[in-house]
Amino acid sequence: MSRSVHRFREYVIEPDTEPDAEAITFTVHCAVCGRAGPTAETTDAAGEWIVTHLGEKPEHLSYREVVTRPYRAIPGEWR
């Protein structure tokens, strides 16, 4: 029977704020019909779609915001 040696490593998980990180993005979805506005890099730009959608569907009053935020794992000490 062969033997195995296992080592464990600590990691810190945090938002990726490095200069080359992907942008944080926002998308708004209508909770009534499921349609989604364009993905944008600001909440204001994403929220503008709500106004447009309300103009088309004034009875659609519930929305969800989906935020995409990049994270990274930083290797720590081996144990």
Domain ranges in the chain are 9-78
Contacts of 63 (CB under 8 A, 6+ apart): 28, 29, 30, 31, 50
Q: State pLDDT tens for residues 34-68.
A: 999 999 999 999 899 999 999 999 999 999 999 99
Q: State pLDDT tens for residues 11-20.
A: 999 999 999 9
Instruction: Name the pTM for this structure.
Output: 0.78
User: On the CB side of 40, how many CA atoms lie within 13 Å of its CA?
Assistant: 16
User: Please, are residues 63 and 29 in contact by the beta-carbon 8 Å criterion?
Assistant: yes
Confidence of residue 7 (pLDDT cuts 50, 70, 90): confident
What is the predicted pLDDT for the residue at 1? Answer: 73
End-to-end CA distance of the chain: 25
Q: For the chain, how many residues are written? A: 79
How far is Cα 6 from Cα 18, in angstroms, rounded to an integer? Answer: 31
